[in-house]
Amino acid sequence: MPWMGTFHGICVRILRRDGAAISIPPNFVIYDEDDRQGLIKQAMKQLSIGTDKLKPRAASAAISKAKNQLLSPSDYAASARFPFQQAVAEIYQLYEQLLADAGALDFDDLLLETVRLLRDHSAVRQRYQTQFKHILVDEYQDTNAAQYQIIKLLVNPRRNICVVGDDWQSIYSWRGADFTNILNFERDFPGALVVKLEQNYRSTGAILEAAGNVINKNQQRTDKTLWTAAGPGAPVHVQAAYDEAEEAYIIASQIATQVATGERDYSDFAVLYRTNAQSYAFERAFNQHRVPYQLVGGVRFYDRKEIKDILAYLRLIYQPN
């Protein structure tokens, strides 16, 4: 049966199967972000590093970035120049000891240790290279240094790899993704067939033109000419807002104005947001402007159980009788 999953899922499977070669027991525990921060707090306490000087979350992010760049505690310490980095280097060293004592790996270790296993044990590497006849990778532009090395170690001499990605859509550099992985694909795998999918089925010509004008400022990028059969469409309008509350207010007022003048109906509008937490600002603005709305795929902010409970307590305080 073919293997299919995330990088982390595949790595767990490999490490449980062959991790003993690098002294990782098959029953290792996986620590999530909460577990990691708890262990970091423990390390900071032992090192007498106060949370008022260094936030555990910041230390966690720095350690995660180091691991995704394949930097060991000693590697990180060697390049630490600033007080923050030097403190993190101490925490990183002790954190790794505490992880080992607990028989645990964190999410970043799943990638890091798989690289170490495949790199240092040729018999294991060759077995997987033989097992995997084809390697398919989606969203290649969002791979980090560790994932990049795993791919290169799993590809066999026949270069049995197919990736899908678009450097123009790389948005996770803050999480360690390196879009140069896809820019260097032809260098890494000479003779690769590159197929450019330049027809866009989602957007209008005006949107593509605006996006192209932005992306053309990138000094490192692939050259593509996007086009669409959807026609030019309406002009792109950009509105700057001070914060999410002002953003929601502007949108709600524009909807209310266009409906009041008969230019549009309420059903002509849709508001898209990235996370459910952002719905509150829009719901509040819509209620202020008396704009009716339907929340799709979620529960209205004021209809959520915890919010209704809080409101009930507030009403009781305000009107105890």
Q: How far is CA 101 from CA 14, 49, 97, 104, 261, in A?
A: 22, 21, 6, 8, 69
- Is this structure's pTM higher than 0.75? yes
Q: b or e along 261-280 (b: 16 or more beta carbons within 10 Å of the residue's beta carbon)?
A: eeeeeeeeeebeeeeeeebb
- Mean pLDDT, residues 138-152: 96
Lowest mean pLDDT among 179-188, 233-242, 247-256, 308-317: 308-317
Cα 150 from Cα 137, distance rounded (Å): 11
Instruction: For residue 153, name the pLDDT band (cuts at 50, 70, 90).
Output: very high
Confidence class of residue 299 from pLDDT cuts 50, 70 and 90?
Answer: low
Q: Same CATH topology for 7-115 and 197-238?
A: no
Domain 7-115 - what CATH class?
mainly alpha
Over residues 261-280, the pLDDT tens digits come to 999 999 999 999 888 888 88
Q: Is the pLDDT of residue 302 over 90?
A: no
Q: How is the chain split into domains, by residue range? A: 7-115, 197-238, 244-318
Strand partners of residue 105: 30
Domain 197-238 top-level CATH class: alpha beta
Q: How far is 146 from 143, CA to CA, in rounded Å?
A: 8
For residues 128 and 134, what is the distance between their CA atoms, to the nearest angstrom?
11
64 within 8 A of 139, measured Cβ to Cβ: no
The mean per-residue pLDDT over the stretch 285-291 comes to 95
